[in-house]
């Protein structure tokens, strides 16, 4: 791959938000090929071998919920062979066992592909028991089952990824029509991890375009309908603290993203569609120096967030206007409810919701989200022990002798001083338009 270095960077304490990077060539050749040459200092050449080394240390998670089998097989075919694939399904098991059909089809395809694949069901009682015995009961309902929901599935897959001993975790939506786009996303995850100088890093994909049919022609829209608003508000939040306007964040709702497992293990989660923008919020809450001091290891290593623009258009199943509205409402709520969100920005969010008719003027923003602490709050040794008799236990090879933890355990949002002394001085806040 040939990719430019980030043109701009926004620093927020130990967090570095890199601007969107452009990919100039998807395959730039082998490590010792003739075209090695002398590279321009603003363009980095990443060989096939270098990318492959990262792939062999990566878990790719594909959440599934009643997707078409052909669509899942297409996504599976696009994931590089070196990656370990973890399918977390929450498809119904009655009256027809949809999960059994998915599992059989995926494992059959994987045999022909020679691919390592783990298929688990979100409601598996064994996984629920593992959560209970490890002390991570936050995602269990009153009956002791794992709750339905995207965030709960992502938490489960993050724990599984950590237990594999691999260094990176990436997420790919299961409704992507282009296997080539899936392949590209994973390559771009790898590119970000090669470029980072920290063990705490995140890579988020900025779609090149989303094709739509307009009057019988294809129109390649540059931005998603919800993303534009989420990005603007996230940038306003950063600006409220730095005192300088910024447009650095362009991937607020990015479903395609990857993290080093060291960072993934330390981040809190929020429920539903809010989970992607909450990654940004929680990094600012926990490591931005707003609520207490960042832990020493993070200060020493820093956190790097890369945003890479894909070359392939992103085409996924159309889920309707209501889906877009739900996603946008959740993103606005998770920012609004954050203890680091200043009052002027809360007013801006409410006005935005009223103007877009996502909320009736005069109504209050209801609290619909749940929050879950980072997986470092679980006893991962006990979690692994509970899975030792499962067929996929052979993939769980992590060295758990050294326990990881956050300097401030539990939810960071619960550690806030109610006086609001951590919020920016309202007299000095910039007016955001």
Per-residue pLDDT of the chain (433 residues; tens, 9 = 90+): 999 999 999 999 999 999 999 999 999 988 876 555 455 678 999 999 999 999 999 999 999 998 899 999 999 999 999 999 999 999 999 899 999 999 999 999 999 999 999 999 999 999 999 999 999 999 999 999 999 998 999 999 999 999 999 999 999 998 888 899 999 999 999 999 999 999 999 999 998 766 666 666 766 666 656 788 999 999 999 999 998 999 999 998 888 999 999 999 999 999 988 999 999 999 999 999 888 778 889 999 999 999 999 998 877 666 667 778 888 999 999 999 999 999 999 999 999 999 988 889 888 988 999 999 999 999 999 999 999 999 999 999 999 888 888 888 889 898 887 766 677 776 554 454 4
Tokens representing 116? 């390592």
Helix (H, G, I), strand (E, B) or coil at 34: coil
Q: pLDDT (tens digit, 9 = 90+) per residue, 373-432?
A: 999 999 999 999 999 999 999 999 999 888 888 888 889 898 887 766 677 776 554 454
pLDDT of 313 reads 83
**Which of these, 242, 253, 136, lies nearest to 128 by C-alpha position?**
136
Q: pLDDT (tens digit, 9 = 90+) per residue, 120-163?
A: 999 999 999 999 999 999 999 999 999 999 899 999 999 999 99
In this structure, is the dihedral angle defined by the CA atoms of residues 72, 74, 78 and 80, taken in order, positive or negative?
positive
Q: Whole-model pTM? A: 0.91
Burial (0-12, 13-18, 19+ Cβ within 10 Å), 248: buried
HSE-CB for 325 with a 13 A CA cutoff? 10
HSE-CB for 64 with a 13 A CA cutoff? 32
């Amino acid at each position: 791959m040939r990719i430019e270095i980030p043109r701009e960077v926004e620093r927020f304490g130990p967090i570095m938000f890199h601007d969107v990077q452009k990919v100039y060539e998807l395959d730039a050749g082998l490590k010792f090929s003739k075209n090695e040459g002398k590279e321009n200092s603003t363009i980095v050449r990443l060989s096939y071998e270098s990318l492959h080394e990262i792939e062999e240390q990566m878990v790719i998670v594909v959440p599934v919920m009643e997707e078409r089998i052909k669509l899942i097989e297409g996504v599976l075919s696009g994931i590089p062979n070196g990656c370990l694939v973890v399918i977390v399904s929450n498809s119904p098991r009655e009256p027809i066992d949809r999960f059994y059909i998915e599992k059989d089809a995926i494992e059959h395809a994987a045999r022909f592909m020679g691919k390592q694949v783990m298929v688990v069901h979100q409601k598996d009682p064994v996984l629920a028991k593992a959560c209970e015995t490890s002390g991570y009961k936050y995602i269990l309902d009153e009956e002791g089952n794992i709750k339905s929901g995207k965030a709960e599935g992502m938490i489960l897959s993050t724990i599984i990824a950590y237990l594999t001993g691999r260094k990176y975790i990436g997420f790919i939506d299961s409704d992507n029509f282009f296997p080539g786009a899936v392949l590209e996303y994973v390559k771009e995850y790898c590119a970000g991890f090669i470029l980072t100088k920290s063990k705490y890093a995140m890579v988020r994909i900025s779609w090149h375009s989303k094709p739509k049919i307009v009057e019988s022609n294809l129109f390649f829209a540059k931005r998603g309908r919800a993303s534009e608003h989420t990005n603007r508000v996230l940038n306003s939040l950063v600006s409220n603290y730095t005192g300088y306007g910024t447009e650095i964040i362009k991937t607020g709702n990015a479903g395609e993203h990857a993290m080093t497992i060291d960072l993934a293990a330390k981040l809190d989660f929020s429920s539903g569609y809010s989970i992607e923008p909450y990654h940004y919020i929680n990094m600012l809450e926990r490591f931005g120096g707003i609520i207490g001091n960042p832990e020493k290891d993070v200060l020493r290593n820093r956190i790097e967030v890369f945003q890479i623009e894909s070359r392939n258009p992103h085409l996924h199943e159309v889920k309707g206007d209501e889906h877009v509205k739900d996603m946008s409402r959740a993103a606005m709520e998770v920012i609004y409810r954050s203890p680091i969100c200043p009052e002027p920005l809360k007013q801006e969010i409410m006005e935005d919701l009223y103007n877009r008719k996502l909320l009736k003027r005069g109504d209050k923003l209801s609290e619909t989200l749940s929050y879950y602490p980072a997986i470092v709050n679980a006893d991962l040794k006990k979690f692994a022990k509970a899975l030792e008799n499962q067929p996929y236990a052979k993939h769980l090879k992590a060295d758990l002798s050294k326990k990881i933890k956050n300097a401030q355990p539990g939810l960071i949002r619960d550690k806030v001083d109610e006086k609001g002394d951590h919020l920016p001085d309202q007299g000095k806040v910039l007016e955001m338009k």
